[in-house]
Structure 1
Amino acid sequence: MKTLKHLIPVVCLLAFFACKDAFTPEVEAKYKNLLVVEGFINIGEETTIRLSRTADLQDWQSIIPEKNAEVRIEGDQGALVQGTTDNNGRCVLQTQNLKLTEHYRLKLTDAKGKIYETDYLETKAAPEIDSVNYKLEGEGFRIYVNTHDQANKTRYYKWDYDETWEIRSDLKSYFEYKNGQVVNRDPNLNITYCWRNERSARILLGSTERLSEDRLTEMPINFVKGNAEKVAFTYSILVKQYGLTQQAYQYLRNIKKNTEQIGGIFDSQPSELKGNVYCVSDPQEQVLGWISAGSMTKKRLFITDKDKPIGRNWLYIRDCQAFNITKDSLDYYMNGNNGIVDNIGDRWLNIIGYVIGDNNCIDCRLRGSNIKPDYWPN
């Protein structure tokens, strides 16, 4: 990737001197359309492998999924698990029966017949997480993890997490508008309580390489603002812990540095990333990504609104106000994003109007799922 590294100082200088003409660097063809391989061979649980292709610099934010690729996990003692990527470039493999005593490699065949693979990988068993806790920091919750390996064998750690939080409708609706008619809502259909999920996007790493004891204390994982919707009612974070080889740790550390710490002319410059996936069909082709194998441990933490201090900066506030309309104007308002909250009757119980509000404030399914997670507290 020498060509790309030589271009970076030029781009920085042009930006520094505020050049008015747009600069579009030429990138060699060999640096375009590279295969990107993401995933972790998760021994004992499901494994998800994601394949995609790099786009041009002018379209760097787009992701091109690698569809219909054959994905195989092969063991050196004969184990085999295989599948095919879907339209999102995602392949879910059932690796619950794989064993830590066997070594595995990933083998890929794209739709054009090109073959990619890793060498057989060292498997790493992740130690148990001691605890996941939070501290009040500023006006939010700082979430951190504590862990250790009594055998002093892990040394290199990676974490990711899944967040889930409860969503509630601000306006209770008893009626809906269907086919030009106002009808009662189905009381058995839940549109009041929903849940939303989000996965971590940052690279979270830790190492005890320079410590005498393989123990990490209060490693920061996430920060949630106190007035965020996530902690308006009940919030859950499931922290997942992985053990890495030194080579995998260094690769992810370089990615973290390249993606999170570059911004100014005095920041560290991008380092060349060489993964452990290579093209068997064309050894000169560059492939991005690092695949590790091992077991994963996890621990869940709940935070509720009762854990928040009293104060306006800890309140989640939405602009969800209902308003009254006349019966004659119902058709006009129902052509927008509104829903019916209730009806308005006169003293003779004749309906003369309606109370309406924004559908996003009425139906929580527009912001999440109304299926309650199995692990959610009552």
Structure 2
Amino acid sequence: MSFRIKAYIYISILLTFFSCIEPIDIKDINYENYLVVEANLTDQLKKHTIKLSRSFMLNDSVPKYESNANVRIIDRNENTYTFSEIEEGVYESDDIFKAELNNTYTLYINTSDGNEYSSIPEKIHGVNEINDITIEKDINPENIEGLKINVISNTEDPNSVYYRYEYDETYKIIAPYWSSADLIPVSREFPFSVTFIQKDYESKVCYKTINSNTIIQTETIGLDKNNVNFTIRFIEKNDFILSHRYSILVKQYVQSPDAYRYFKTLKKLSVSQGSFTQNQPGFMQGNITNNKTSNDKVLGFFEVTSYSEKRFFFNYLDIYPDGSVNYVSDCNFIAPKLVDGHYPDLFSPLIATLDNGEYLYYTTNEEPTDYEPGPYYLVPKICGDCRLLGSNVKPSFWID
């Protein structure tokens, strides 16, 4: 999974906290220190990653990563794949390998406190390739117009029944009031002066990638064939991410029945119910246990899955030829004077504004007015420098 599993065991505390009239001091509630495991072995030939952390209270803002652990996966043929810690709590396999059909894999973890953990043997339960990604206009239950993004997979494999999805979406950002030049102060003392320099960096076009952070699942039980036609994403028509060009990378995992049920329950428990009388979750056991004591519980599930991915691009104007999307910020121009009329020897409103760093030069003010008396129009930085919203490095996969 691409997101950290928070201690869902404490969701009931969250429900209590928000449904009571008087607040509860969460620090006073009993806390249990559980190992949290995020591990998914796929049939991709690559270095695989396992993440280890500790459960933490809801009022903690920083996860507690589990370092200095010994992590390995052993298959049915006694082949051992070792992992090394590449950053705090993140372990990467020392060699590239992949999960293979008709083989089983077991995860073993030895933590620095002397505890030993292992999963039950897991295997790939089905294979299905993504055939297509489609989009269609639709109206959501809130009566908002937008686009449905659908994933389509067709297979004859009777075991490919349960699916989990993730996606990475990338969108293009264009600063609406960009200038090729910067306006910089030359003299901050009277007589005040400024000059132009040509930009030697990209700040007009940027890109932003966002990863999905929810559990997305579907299943094909009851269908004649295990074919998937599933809406993975709905984007409102006026969402800024659609402004120009948009891309989504859909990732499909064929799950085992146990993994599907685990993640389905996890999603159900992770949604705040808003009422203490509704769902009250307790501990949810995965497929990993402590080999030394049954009292030390583990959060997480070791998955072994087949994997498929597909990327899709589209332009907003291809879908809505007469439409447009508002920018994320108001872009109101200002035109401060170079010299203050009341204190000409002491203060330059233009230079003070440039030094503040919140505005950028856009263009020359050809017709100064009492309201906009200065020689240059300035715009909020977010309207002239796309780097405030994304990266100016074009992704290697991007196709214009």
Which TM class, normalised by the smaller chain length? 0.7 to 0.9
In the alignment, which residue of structure 2 is the partner of 1:330? Answer: 350
Alpha carbons of structure 1 residues 271 and 147: separation in structure 2 relative to 1, 3 Å:
farther
Alpha carbons of structure 1 residues 152 and 11: separation in structure 2 relative to 1, 3 Å:
closer
CA distance in structure 2 between the aligned counterparts of 1:333 and 1:199, rounded to whole angstroms: 36
Which amino acid in the other structure matches residue 182 of structure 2? E
Cα shift at 1:112: 3.6
**Selected match of 1:360 from 349, 372, 382:** 382
1:173 and 2:179 correspond: yes
Which amino acid in the other structure matches residue 154 of structure 1? S
CA distance in structure 2 between the aligned counterparts of 1:11 and 1:367, rounded to whole angstroms: 34
1:149 and 2:170 correspond: no
User: 1:325 is paired with a residue of what secondary structure?
Assistant: coil
Deviations 1:82-124 (A, max 9, x none): 120513x333446643240442222333344433332332124
Which amino acid in the other structure matches residue 359 of structure 2? N
Deviations 1:245-284 (A, max 9, x none): 1111110111111113733356444254101122234442
CA RMSD of superposed structures (Å)? 3.2
User: 2:335 is paired with a residue of what secondary structure?
Assistant: strand
The 8 Å contact of residues 262 and 269 in structure 1, kept in 2 or not, is answered as no
The 8 Å contact of residues 68 and 84 in structure 1, kept in 2 or not, is answered as yes
Deviations 1:152-200 (A, max 9, x none): 111111111111000111212233356866441334x211111101111
The 8 Å contact of residues 290 and 297 in structure 2, kept in 1 or not, is answered as yes
CA distance in structure 2 between the aligned counterparts of 1:375 and 1:198, rounded to whole angstroms: 15
The 8 Å contact of residues 81 and 95 in structure 2, kept in 1 or not, is answered as no
1:160 and 2:166 correspond: yes
Moved over 6 A (4+): 4-7
Alpha carbons of structure 1 residues 148 and 168: separation in structure 2 relative to 1, 3 Å:
same
In the alignment, which residue of structure 2 is the partner of 1:129? Answer: 130
In the alignment, which residue of structure 2 is the partner of 1:84? Answer: 85
Which amino acid in the other structure matches residue 63 of structure 1? P
CA distance in structure 2 between the aligned counterparts of 1:120 and 1:43, rounded to whole angstroms: 16
Cα shift at 1:310: 5.5
**Selected match of 1:370 from 387, 392, 395:** 392
The 8 Å contact of residues 84 and 93 in structure 2, kept in 1 or not, is answered as yes
Deviations 1:334-357 (A, max 9, x none): 2321222345689xxxxx833322
The 8 Å contact of residues 124 and 245 in structure 1, kept in 2 or not, is answered as yes
The 8 Å contact of residues 226 and 308 in structure 1, kept in 2 or not, is answered as no
The 8 Å contact of residues 127 and 157 in structure 2, kept in 1 or not, is answered as no
In the alignment, which residue of structure 2 is the partner of 1:296? Answer: 307
Unaligned ranges ≥5, structure 2: 1-7, 140-144, 187-193, 339-347, 368-373
In the alignment, which residue of structure 2 is the partner of 1:204? Answer: 216
CA distance in structure 2 between the aligned counterparts of 1:128 and 1:86, rounded to whole angstroms: 32
CA distance in structure 1 between the aligned counterparts of 2:81 and 2:11, rounded to whole angstroms: 44
Alpha carbons of structure 1 residues 223 and 7: separation in structure 2 relative to 1, 3 Å:
closer
**Selected match of 1:213 from 204, 221, 225:** 225
**Selected match of 2:146 from 140, 143, 161:** 140
Which amino acid in the other structure matches residue 91 of structure 2? C
User: 1:291 is paired with a residue of what secondary structure?
Assistant: strand
Alpha carbons of structure 1 residues 94 and 166: separation in structure 2 relative to 1, 3 Å:
farther
User: 2:87 is paired with a residue of what secondary structure?
Assistant: coil
TM-score (norm 2): 0.79
Which amino acid in the other structure matches residue 199 of structure 2? D
Cα shift at 1:297: 0.2
User: 1:49 is paired with a residue of what secondary structure?
Assistant: strand
Cα shift at 1:141: 0.8
Between 293-302 and 163-172, the greater mean CA deviation after superposition: 293-302
CA distance in structure 1 between the aligned counterparts of 2:21 and 2:174, rounded to whole angstroms: 50
Count residues in correspondence.
361
Alpha carbons of structure 1 residues 178 and 37: separation in structure 2 relative to 1, 3 Å:
farther
Alpha carbons of structure 1 residues 376 and 106: separation in structure 2 relative to 1, 3 Å:
same
1:257 and 2:268 correspond: yes
CA distance in structure 2 between the aligned counterparts of 1:361 and 1:6, rounded to whole angstroms: 42
User: 1:324 is paired with a residue of what secondary structure?
Assistant: coil
In the alignment, which residue of structure 1 is the partner of 2:370? Answer: none
Which amino acid in the other structure matches residue 130 of structure 1? N
1:339 and 2:360 correspond: yes
The 8 Å contact of residues 161 and 240 in structure 1, kept in 2 or not, is answered as yes
CA distance in structure 2 between the aligned counterparts of 1:284 and 1:60, rounded to whole angstroms: 24
Alpha carbons of structure 1 residues 141 and 280: separation in structure 2 relative to 1, 3 Å:
same
CA distance in structure 2 between the aligned counterparts of 1:186 and 1:6, rounded to whole angstroms: 51
CA distance in structure 1 between the aligned counterparts of 2:376 and 2:217, rounded to whole angstroms: 55
CA distance in structure 1 between the aligned counterparts of 2:209 and 2:233, rounded to whole angstroms: 15
CA distance in structure 2 between the aligned counterparts of 1:259 and 1:186, rounded to whole angstroms: 47
CA distance in structure 2 between the aligned counterparts of 1:178 and 1:92, rounded to whole angstroms: 47
Alpha carbons of structure 1 residues 342 and 68: separation in structure 2 relative to 1, 3 Å:
farther
User: 1:275 is paired with a residue of what secondary structure?
Assistant: coil
The 8 Å contact of residues 68 and 85 in structure 1, kept in 2 or not, is answered as no
TM-score (norm 1): 0.83
Which amino acid in the other structure matches residue 207 of structure 1? E
In the alignment, which residue of structure 2 is the partner of 1:184? Answer: 197
Which amino acid in the other structure matches residue 331 of structure 1? I
